[in-house]
């Protein structure tokens, strides 16, 4: 494998892993607060269609991106109301949210399918983009990829170094004890859910405005589900989320890598690898469920009400 091919693979790996990273960071914060939101796929799709429509109509890609994130956040309020404040089953509510997002995005975007848009273009950082191998991978990406780097750093700092991270983890580990110390458990969880929704919407907007600048039904192709598995795969550790997102991104482009290496394997078979990898990861984790529970927030997926 020559250097140019390796450089191109790493560049594509980061681009492909970016939506997974954004969704997984949002879901990580949700789960750290004790909330399991399975509606990521639906929120991504709504963010993708909202971002595309606003971006194409206004001619302002950043406005489209902001509206995509806002659409995901607004949709997540429904989940927060039902699953957090009404203490409904989080799994059932999340699945319903995904079904709603898939159907609603298809309905809203029906007349926008196939319309062209000039999406975000790569912006090379002088000098750094010329570094061998990692230069193009990290310093010749589009602005939304750079934004994902910033958001990763902020989430890592918040969870590992800030007071708000301690609050989120306290609520996720023992909401009764957190409430006894005066923490507003329900509102902390609501904030985490809204953040997760905004990140999912942002990931969707990235799909329709940067990665494949267009709108088509189910443009996310199951990435919301992969991101959910990614958080578990990363053992709820933020730096592992980054590495896992890029690893799954690499799996997603292996059919292109095989073509570059002239490997005689059907492209459709290789395109299945991200989903096969997801299933294998979940199977491997289920074999050691006790160890997995050691890293998971104690109250994950458990509804909570004051006084209960």
Query: What are the extents of the domains in the chain?
Result: 18-120+147-295
The residue ranking higher by pLDDT, 253 or 121, is: 121
Digit-coded pLDDT (tens) for 109-167: 999 998 989 999 999 999 999 998 899 999 999 999 999 999 999 999 999 999 999 99
Q: What percent of the chain has pLDDT over 90?
A: 73
Least confident piece of the model among 70-84, 189-203, 245-259: 245-259
Torsions phi, psi of 108, nearest 5?
Answer: -65, -40
Where does the pLDDT of residue 4 fall: very low under 50, low under 70, confident under 90, or very high at 90 and above? confident
Q: Tell me which residue of 29, 267, 252 sits closest to 158, measured CA to CA.
A: 29
Digit-coded pLDDT (tens) for 160-209: 999 999 999 999 999 999 999 999 999 999 999 999 999 999 999 999 99
Residues in the chain, total: 308
18-120+147-295 to CATH, choices 1.10.1660, 1.10.3470, 1.10.600, 1.20.272: 1.10.3470
Which residues touch 214 (CB under 8 Å, ≥6 apart)? 52, 114, 115, 116, 117, 208
pLDDT for the residue numbered 199: 98
pLDDT for the residue numbered 17: 94
pLDDT for the residue numbered 252: 81
């Amino acid at each position: 494998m020559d250097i140019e091919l390796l450089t191109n693979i790493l560049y594509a790996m980061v681009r492909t892993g970016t939506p997974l990273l954004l969704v997984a960071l949002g879901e990580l914060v949700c789960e750290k607060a004790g909330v399991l939101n399975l509606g990521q796929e639906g929120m991504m799709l709504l963010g993708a269609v909202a971002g595309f429509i606003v971006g194409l109509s206004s001619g302002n890609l950043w406005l489209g991106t902001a509206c995509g994130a806002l659409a995901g956040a607004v949709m997540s309020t429904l989940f927060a109301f039902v699953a957090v404040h009404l203490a409904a089953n989080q799994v059932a509510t999340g699945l319903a949210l995904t079904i709603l997002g898939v159907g609603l995005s298809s309905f809203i975007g029906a007349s926008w399918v196939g319309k062209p848009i000039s999406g975000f273009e790569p912006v090379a950082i002088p000098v750094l983009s010329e570094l061998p191998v990692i230069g193009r991978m990290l310093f010749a990406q589009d602005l939304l990829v750079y934004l994902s780097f910033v958001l990763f750093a902020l989430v890592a700092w918040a969870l590992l170094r800030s007071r708000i991270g301690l609050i989120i983890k306290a609520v996720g580990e023992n909401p009764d004890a957190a409430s006894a110390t005066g923490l507003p458990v329900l509102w902390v969880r609501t904030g985490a859910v809204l953040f997760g929704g905004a990140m999912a919407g942002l990931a969707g907007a990235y799909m329709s405005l940067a990665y494949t600048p267009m709108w088509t039904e189910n443009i996310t192709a199951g990435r919301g589900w992969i991101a959910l598995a990614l958080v578990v795969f990363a053992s709820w550790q933020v730096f592992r989320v980054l590495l896992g997102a890029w690893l799954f991104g690499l799996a997603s482009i292996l059919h292109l890598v095989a073509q570059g290496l002239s490997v005689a394997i059907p492209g459709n078979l290789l395109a299945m690898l991200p989903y096969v990898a997801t299933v294998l990861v979940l199977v491997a984790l289920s074999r050691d469920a006790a160890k997995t529970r050691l890293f998971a927030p104690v109250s994950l997926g458990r509804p909570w009400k004051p006084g209960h």
